[in-house]
Amino acid sequence: MRSRNLATSKYFIISLAATAGIAFVYSFVSEPPAAEAETPRNAQHIEETAPPAPSPQQQPESPAPLANLDRQNMGEGASVVMGDLSFEQVVALMQKHHGADLDTALGQIDLINALLSYVRHQYPDNWREMMTEFLEAAFPGMATELVQLADNHLEYEEWRRLGASDLLQLDPEERMEVLMKHRAEIFGKEVAEELWQHQIRDYKTQKAIDNLAAESNRPLDERLEEFSTLVHQEYPEDVMRNQSMALGDSFANKFLAATQDELRDMSPHERRETIARTRRSLGYNERAIENLARLDRTRDRRWEAGETYMQTRQEITSNYEGEERQRRLNEARRNLLGAEADIIRQEEEAGYFRYQQERTYGLH
Protein backbone atom coordinates (compact mmCIF):
# COMPACT_ATOMS: atom_id res chain seq x y z
CA MET A 1 0.00 0.00 0.00
CA ARG A 2 1.43 3.39 -0.99
CA SER A 3 2.09 5.89 1.77
CA ARG A 4 -0.45 8.69 1.95
CA ASN A 5 0.27 12.17 3.22
CA LEU A 6 -2.00 15.10 3.88
CA ALA A 7 -3.20 17.02 0.84
CA THR A 8 -1.75 20.42 0.03
CA SER A 9 -5.08 21.99 -1.01
CA LYS A 10 -6.95 23.70 1.78
CA TYR A 11 -10.67 23.40 1.27
CA PHE A 12 -13.59 21.27 0.21
CA ILE A 13 -16.99 22.81 -0.57
CA ILE A 14 -20.15 20.89 0.27
CA SER A 15 -23.42 22.04 -1.28
CA LEU A 16 -26.21 21.12 1.08
CA ALA A 17 -29.03 21.90 -1.37
CA ALA A 18 -31.51 21.85 1.48
CA THR A 19 -34.01 24.13 -0.20
CA ALA A 20 -34.02 22.01 -3.35
CA GLY A 21 -35.16 19.01 -1.35
CA ILE A 22 -32.79 16.61 -3.10
CA ALA A 23 -29.87 14.49 -2.00
CA PHE A 24 -26.46 16.08 -2.28
CA VAL A 25 -23.21 14.60 -3.54
CA TYR A 26 -19.69 15.84 -3.84
CA SER A 27 -17.63 15.87 -7.00
CA PHE A 28 -13.87 15.93 -7.02
CA VAL A 29 -13.37 18.73 -9.55
CA SER A 30 -15.73 21.16 -11.23
CA GLU A 31 -16.27 20.56 -14.95
CA PRO A 32 -18.81 21.63 -17.60
CA PRO A 33 -22.08 19.67 -17.93
CA ALA A 34 -21.80 16.38 -19.80
CA ALA A 35 -23.07 16.26 -23.37
CA GLU A 36 -26.43 14.57 -23.85
CA ALA A 37 -24.90 11.38 -25.20
CA GLU A 38 -22.19 11.05 -22.53
CA THR A 39 -22.52 8.61 -19.67
CA PRO A 40 -25.02 10.46 -17.45
CA ARG A 41 -24.53 11.58 -13.91
CA ASN A 42 -27.21 10.62 -11.40
CA ALA A 43 -30.13 13.00 -12.06
CA GLN A 44 -30.97 13.07 -8.34
CA HIS A 45 -27.61 14.59 -7.43
CA ILE A 46 -25.97 17.96 -7.77
CA GLU A 47 -22.25 18.54 -8.05
CA GLU A 48 -19.89 19.99 -5.50
CA THR A 49 -16.32 21.07 -5.90
CA ALA A 50 -13.41 18.75 -5.34
CA PRO A 51 -11.51 17.63 -2.32
CA PRO A 52 -7.79 18.22 -2.81
CA ALA A 53 -5.43 15.43 -3.76
CA PRO A 54 -3.52 13.51 -1.12
CA SER A 55 0.22 13.53 -1.68
CA PRO A 56 1.37 9.87 -1.63
CA GLN A 57 4.54 10.43 0.36
CA GLN A 58 4.05 10.11 4.11
CA GLN A 59 1.59 8.19 6.29
CA PRO A 60 -0.10 10.52 8.81
CA GLU A 61 -0.15 9.31 12.36
CA SER A 62 -3.92 9.64 12.76
CA PRO A 63 -6.20 11.13 10.08
CA ALA A 64 -8.82 13.40 11.54
CA PRO A 65 -12.35 11.94 11.50
CA LEU A 66 -14.77 13.74 9.20
CA ALA A 67 -16.78 14.90 12.19
CA ASN A 68 -13.72 16.80 13.44
CA LEU A 69 -13.07 18.70 10.22
CA ASP A 70 -13.26 22.45 10.64
CA ARG A 71 -16.09 23.82 8.48
CA GLN A 72 -16.68 27.46 7.68
CA ASN A 73 -20.19 28.56 6.69
CA MET A 74 -20.20 30.18 3.25
CA GLY A 75 -23.92 31.01 3.17
CA GLU A 76 -26.60 29.87 0.72
CA GLY A 77 -26.40 26.26 1.88
CA ALA A 78 -22.66 25.78 1.34
CA SER A 79 -19.75 25.24 3.72
CA VAL A 80 -15.99 25.01 3.33
CA VAL A 81 -13.87 22.38 5.03
CA MET A 82 -10.74 24.13 6.24
CA GLY A 83 -7.39 22.33 6.41
CA ASP A 84 -5.73 19.35 4.70
CA LEU A 85 -7.46 16.13 3.65
CA SER A 86 -5.74 12.78 3.81
CA PHE A 87 -6.26 9.80 1.49
CA GLU A 88 -8.35 8.20 4.23
CA GLN A 89 -10.53 11.27 4.55
CA VAL A 90 -11.21 11.35 0.82
CA VAL A 91 -12.17 7.65 1.02
CA ALA A 92 -14.46 8.46 3.95
CA LEU A 93 -16.12 11.21 1.94
CA MET A 94 -16.68 8.78 -0.95
CA GLN A 95 -18.33 6.36 1.45
CA LYS A 96 -20.42 9.06 3.09
CA HIS A 97 -21.77 10.69 -0.05
CA HIS A 98 -21.96 7.74 -2.46
CA GLY A 99 -22.17 4.60 -0.37
CA ALA A 100 -25.94 4.59 0.00
CA ASP A 101 -26.51 4.92 -3.76
CA LEU A 102 -24.42 2.06 -5.11
CA ASP A 103 -27.35 -0.33 -5.44
CA THR A 104 -28.17 1.25 -8.81
CA ALA A 105 -26.14 1.73 -11.97
CA LEU A 106 -26.96 5.45 -11.84
CA GLY A 107 -25.52 5.72 -8.35
CA GLN A 108 -22.41 3.80 -9.40
CA ILE A 109 -21.78 5.91 -12.50
CA ASP A 110 -22.23 9.06 -10.44
CA LEU A 111 -19.40 7.91 -8.17
CA ILE A 112 -17.25 6.93 -11.14
CA ASN A 113 -17.76 10.26 -12.92
CA ALA A 114 -16.71 12.12 -9.78
CA LEU A 115 -13.75 9.84 -9.11
CA LEU A 116 -12.46 9.94 -12.70
CA SER A 117 -12.61 13.73 -12.70
CA TYR A 118 -10.61 13.76 -9.50
CA VAL A 119 -7.87 11.29 -10.34
CA ARG A 120 -7.40 12.63 -13.86
CA HIS A 121 -6.88 16.08 -12.42
CA GLN A 122 -4.70 15.12 -9.47
CA TYR A 123 -2.81 12.12 -10.89
CA PRO A 124 -2.37 12.71 -14.64
CA ASP A 125 0.41 10.11 -14.91
CA ASN A 126 -1.22 7.21 -13.02
CA TRP A 127 -4.89 8.09 -12.72
CA ARG A 128 -6.10 4.57 -13.61
CA GLU A 129 -4.03 3.03 -10.83
CA MET A 130 -5.28 5.63 -8.36
CA MET A 131 -8.88 5.12 -9.44
CA THR A 132 -8.62 1.43 -8.65
CA GLU A 133 -6.89 2.11 -5.34
CA PHE A 134 -9.58 4.53 -4.20
CA LEU A 135 -12.37 2.14 -5.17
CA GLU A 136 -10.70 -0.80 -3.41
CA ALA A 137 -10.18 1.29 -0.27
CA ALA A 138 -13.69 2.79 -0.20
CA PHE A 139 -15.79 -0.17 -1.41
CA PRO A 140 -13.72 -3.37 -1.26
CA GLY A 141 -16.75 -5.63 -1.72
CA MET A 142 -17.76 -3.88 -4.95
CA ALA A 143 -14.39 -2.78 -6.31
CA THR A 144 -14.28 -5.34 -9.14
CA GLU A 145 -17.78 -4.41 -10.32
CA LEU A 146 -17.06 -0.69 -10.07
CA VAL A 147 -13.73 -0.94 -11.91
CA GLN A 148 -15.45 -2.86 -14.71
CA LEU A 149 -18.15 -0.20 -14.99
CA ALA A 150 -15.46 2.48 -15.05
CA ASP A 151 -13.65 0.62 -17.86
CA ASN A 152 -16.92 0.42 -19.81
CA HIS A 153 -17.47 4.13 -19.25
CA LEU A 154 -13.98 4.92 -20.55
CA GLU A 155 -14.52 2.72 -23.62
CA TYR A 156 -17.79 4.52 -24.32
CA GLU A 157 -16.13 7.92 -23.88
CA GLU A 158 -13.50 6.97 -26.46
CA TRP A 159 -16.10 5.65 -28.92
CA ARG A 160 -18.09 8.88 -28.54
CA ARG A 161 -14.97 10.98 -29.09
CA LEU A 162 -14.03 9.17 -32.28
CA GLY A 163 -17.55 9.04 -33.70
CA ALA A 164 -18.92 12.44 -32.62
CA SER A 165 -18.82 14.05 -36.06
CA ASP A 166 -20.45 11.04 -37.72
CA LEU A 167 -23.27 11.01 -35.17
CA LEU A 168 -24.04 14.66 -35.88
CA GLN A 169 -24.75 13.78 -39.50
CA LEU A 170 -27.58 11.43 -38.55
CA ASP A 171 -31.20 12.42 -38.02
CA PRO A 172 -32.44 12.15 -34.41
CA GLU A 173 -34.03 8.72 -34.85
CA GLU A 174 -30.97 7.20 -36.49
CA ARG A 175 -28.67 8.80 -33.93
CA MET A 176 -30.67 7.43 -31.01
CA GLU A 177 -30.69 3.96 -32.58
CA VAL A 178 -26.90 3.98 -33.07
CA LEU A 179 -26.26 5.33 -29.56
CA MET A 180 -28.42 2.73 -27.83
CA LYS A 181 -26.95 -0.09 -29.93
CA HIS A 182 -23.38 0.79 -28.92
CA ARG A 183 -24.34 1.48 -25.32
CA ALA A 184 -25.90 -1.99 -25.09
CA GLU A 185 -22.77 -3.56 -26.59
CA ILE A 186 -20.51 -1.82 -24.09
CA PHE A 187 -22.59 -1.75 -20.89
CA GLY A 188 -25.16 -4.46 -21.54
CA LYS A 189 -28.74 -3.67 -22.55
CA GLU A 190 -30.20 -3.52 -19.04
CA VAL A 191 -27.50 -1.25 -17.60
CA ALA A 192 -27.54 0.99 -20.71
CA GLU A 193 -31.30 1.47 -20.43
CA GLU A 194 -30.98 2.35 -16.75
CA LEU A 195 -28.13 4.80 -17.27
CA TRP A 196 -29.89 6.64 -20.10
CA GLN A 197 -33.46 6.17 -18.88
CA HIS A 198 -34.17 9.91 -18.78
CA GLN A 199 -32.83 10.49 -22.28
CA ILE A 200 -34.89 7.55 -23.58
CA ARG A 201 -37.97 8.94 -21.84
CA ASP A 202 -37.44 12.44 -23.23
CA TYR A 203 -36.83 11.03 -26.72
CA LYS A 204 -40.11 9.11 -26.61
CA THR A 205 -41.91 12.25 -25.47
CA GLN A 206 -40.38 14.38 -28.21
CA LYS A 207 -41.23 11.75 -30.81
CA ALA A 208 -44.84 11.83 -29.63
CA ILE A 209 -44.79 15.63 -29.92
CA ASP A 210 -43.45 15.40 -33.48
CA ASN A 211 -46.31 13.11 -34.42
CA LEU A 212 -49.02 15.46 -33.14
CA ALA A 213 -48.99 17.86 -36.07
CA ALA A 214 -48.66 15.02 -38.59
CA GLU A 215 -51.84 13.41 -37.26
CA SER A 216 -54.18 16.37 -37.73
CA ASN A 217 -56.75 14.02 -39.27
CA ARG A 218 -57.34 12.65 -35.76
CA PRO A 219 -59.44 14.67 -33.30
CA LEU A 220 -57.31 17.02 -31.22
CA ASP A 221 -58.86 15.85 -27.94
CA GLU A 222 -58.02 12.25 -28.81
CA ARG A 223 -54.37 13.14 -29.38
CA LEU A 224 -54.33 15.22 -26.20
CA GLU A 225 -55.60 12.29 -24.15
CA GLU A 226 -53.02 9.98 -25.70
CA PHE A 227 -50.16 12.41 -25.09
CA SER A 228 -51.32 13.13 -21.54
CA THR A 229 -51.38 9.42 -20.76
CA LEU A 230 -47.82 9.02 -22.05
CA VAL A 231 -46.51 12.00 -20.07
CA HIS A 232 -48.16 10.93 -16.82
CA GLN A 233 -46.78 7.41 -17.23
CA GLU A 234 -43.23 8.51 -18.00
CA TYR A 235 -42.72 11.44 -15.63
CA PRO A 236 -43.05 11.50 -11.82
CA GLU A 237 -45.68 13.62 -10.17
CA ASP A 238 -43.20 16.19 -8.85
CA VAL A 239 -42.10 16.91 -12.42
CA MET A 240 -45.72 17.34 -13.49
CA ARG A 241 -46.40 19.71 -10.58
CA ASN A 242 -43.26 21.79 -10.93
CA GLN A 243 -43.41 22.29 -14.69
CA SER A 244 -45.95 25.09 -14.23
CA MET A 245 -43.04 27.16 -12.99
CA ALA A 246 -41.19 26.64 -16.30
CA LEU A 247 -43.78 27.90 -18.75
CA GLY A 248 -41.42 28.10 -21.70
CA ASP A 249 -40.81 24.37 -21.91
CA SER A 250 -43.85 22.70 -20.40
CA PHE A 251 -45.62 19.69 -21.88
CA ALA A 252 -48.69 21.84 -22.50
CA ASN A 253 -46.65 24.41 -24.41
CA LYS A 254 -45.11 21.69 -26.55
CA PHE A 255 -48.57 20.33 -27.36
CA LEU A 256 -49.91 23.80 -28.17
CA ALA A 257 -46.91 24.58 -30.38
CA ALA A 258 -47.52 21.37 -32.35
CA THR A 259 -51.23 22.05 -32.92
CA GLN A 260 -51.20 25.73 -33.93
CA ASP A 261 -52.86 25.16 -37.32
CA GLU A 262 -55.92 23.71 -35.61
CA LEU A 263 -55.99 26.41 -32.92
CA ARG A 264 -55.95 29.14 -35.58
CA ASP A 265 -59.02 27.62 -37.24
CA MET A 266 -61.07 27.72 -34.02
CA SER A 267 -63.35 30.47 -32.81
CA PRO A 268 -61.90 32.56 -29.94
CA HIS A 269 -64.14 30.83 -27.38
CA GLU A 270 -63.34 27.32 -28.63
CA ARG A 271 -59.63 28.16 -28.72
CA ARG A 272 -59.64 29.43 -25.13
CA GLU A 273 -61.43 26.30 -23.96
CA THR A 274 -59.02 24.02 -25.83
CA ILE A 275 -55.96 25.79 -24.44
CA ALA A 276 -57.29 25.55 -20.87
CA ARG A 277 -58.15 21.87 -21.35
CA THR A 278 -54.66 21.21 -22.69
CA ARG A 279 -52.99 22.87 -19.72
CA ARG A 280 -55.23 21.06 -17.24
CA SER A 281 -54.63 17.67 -18.86
CA LEU A 282 -50.86 18.16 -18.90
CA GLY A 283 -50.30 19.01 -15.26
CA TYR A 284 -51.13 22.68 -14.65
CA ASN A 285 -53.10 23.43 -11.50
CA GLU A 286 -56.22 25.59 -11.57
CA ARG A 287 -54.45 28.67 -10.28
CA ALA A 288 -51.84 28.46 -13.04
CA ILE A 289 -54.56 27.90 -15.63
CA GLU A 290 -56.43 30.99 -14.43
CA ASN A 291 -53.29 33.13 -14.42
CA LEU A 292 -52.33 31.99 -17.89
CA ALA A 293 -55.84 32.60 -19.22
CA ARG A 294 -55.55 36.17 -17.93
CA LEU A 295 -52.20 36.50 -19.70
CA ASP A 296 -53.74 35.11 -22.90
CA ARG A 297 -56.45 37.78 -22.78
CA THR A 298 -53.77 40.46 -22.47
CA ARG A 299 -51.99 38.94 -25.45
CA ASP A 300 -55.27 38.91 -27.42
CA ARG A 301 -55.73 42.63 -26.83
CA ARG A 302 -52.12 43.34 -27.78
CA TRP A 303 -52.41 41.39 -31.03
CA GLU A 304 -55.72 43.02 -31.90
CA ALA A 305 -54.09 46.43 -31.42
CA GLY A 306 -51.10 45.25 -33.44
CA GLU A 307 -53.23 44.11 -36.35
CA THR A 308 -55.13 47.41 -36.31
CA TYR A 309 -51.81 49.24 -36.31
CA MET A 310 -50.56 47.28 -39.31
CA GLN A 311 -53.68 48.19 -41.28
CA THR A 312 -53.24 51.85 -40.31
CA ARG A 313 -49.57 51.67 -41.17
CA GLN A 314 -50.36 50.36 -44.62
CA GLU A 315 -52.73 53.26 -45.26
CA ILE A 316 -50.14 55.80 -44.04
CA THR A 317 -47.27 54.41 -46.12
CA SER A 318 -49.52 54.32 -49.20
CA ASN A 319 -50.62 57.94 -48.92
CA TYR A 320 -47.78 59.88 -47.28
CA GLU A 321 -44.04 60.33 -47.62
CA GLY A 322 -41.15 61.95 -45.80
CA GLU A 323 -41.64 63.74 -42.51
CA GLU A 324 -45.42 63.59 -42.71
CA ARG A 325 -45.31 59.81 -43.03
CA GLN A 326 -43.01 59.52 -40.01
CA ARG A 327 -45.16 61.90 -37.97
CA ARG A 328 -48.31 59.89 -38.68
CA LEU A 329 -46.60 56.55 -38.01
CA ASN A 330 -45.31 57.80 -34.67
CA GLU A 331 -48.77 59.02 -33.77
CA ALA A 332 -50.37 55.70 -34.80
CA ARG A 333 -47.86 53.74 -32.72
CA ARG A 334 -48.47 55.91 -29.66
CA ASN A 335 -52.26 55.74 -29.99
CA LEU A 336 -52.56 52.05 -30.76
CA LEU A 337 -49.55 50.38 -29.12
CA GLY A 338 -49.00 52.51 -26.02
CA ALA A 339 -45.91 51.48 -24.06
CA GLU A 340 -44.72 49.26 -26.91
CA ALA A 341 -44.60 52.13 -29.41
CA ASP A 342 -40.88 52.86 -29.16
CA ILE A 343 -39.94 49.16 -29.20
CA ILE A 344 -42.04 48.61 -32.33
CA ARG A 345 -40.42 51.62 -33.99
CA GLN A 346 -36.94 50.21 -33.31
CA GLU A 347 -37.97 46.81 -34.64
CA GLU A 348 -39.32 48.37 -37.83
CA GLU A 349 -36.12 50.35 -38.34
CA ALA A 350 -34.26 47.02 -38.13
CA GLY A 351 -36.61 45.52 -40.73
CA TYR A 352 -38.68 43.38 -38.35
CA PHE A 353 -42.47 43.67 -38.26
CA ARG A 354 -43.76 41.80 -35.25
CA TYR A 355 -47.44 41.85 -36.16
CA GLN A 356 -46.83 40.48 -39.63
CA GLN A 357 -45.63 37.25 -38.03
CA GLU A 358 -47.94 34.32 -37.47
CA ARG A 359 -49.17 34.23 -33.91
CA THR A 360 -48.66 31.18 -31.72
CA TYR A 361 -51.75 30.90 -29.55
CA GLY A 362 -51.22 30.08 -25.87
CA LEU A 363 -47.52 30.97 -26.16
CA HIS A 364 -47.20 34.57 -27.36
Q: What pLDDT score does 13 carry?
A: 32
Mean pLDDT of 176-189: 95
pTM of the model: 0.65
Nearest-angstrom CA–CA distance, 232 and 222: 16
pLDDT in tens, 267-276: 999 999 999 9
Phi, psi of 217 (to 5 degrees): -75, -20
Which ranges in 100-219 belong to alpha helices (H)? 105-122, 127-138, 143-168, 172-187, 189-195, 197-214
Neighbouring-strand partners of residue 91 = none
Say what the pLDDT of residue 69 is: 57
Across the chain, the runs of DSSP E, i.e. the strands, are 11-15, 70-75, 78-82
- In this structure, are residues 332 and 309 in contact, taking their beta carbons and an 8 Å threshold? yes
Q: Return the domain boundaries, the chain.
A: 11-164, 201-284, 301-356
Of 42-56, 185-199, 306-320, the poorest mean pLDDT is in 42-56
Q: How far apart are CA 262 and CA 221, in angstroms?
A: 11
- Residue 5: what pLDDT? 43
Residue 84 confidence class, pLDDT cut points 50, 70, 90: low
- The more confidently predicted of residues 11 and 186 is 186
> What are residue 15's phi and psi, to 5 degrees?
-90, 115
Question: 127-150, pLDDT tens digit by residue?
Answer: 999 999 999 999 999 999 999 999
**What's at 25, amino acid-wise?**
V
pLDDT of residue 321: 94
**Contact partners, residue 324, CB within 8 Å, separation at least 6:** none
Give the tens place of pLDDT for each residue, 27-71. 333 333 334 557 776 544 434 434 444 444 444 444 445 665 555
Least confident of 52-66, 147-161, 222-236, 272-286: 52-66
Name which of 184, 72, 87, 78 is nearest 130 in CA terms.
87
CB 131 within 8 A of CB 150: yes
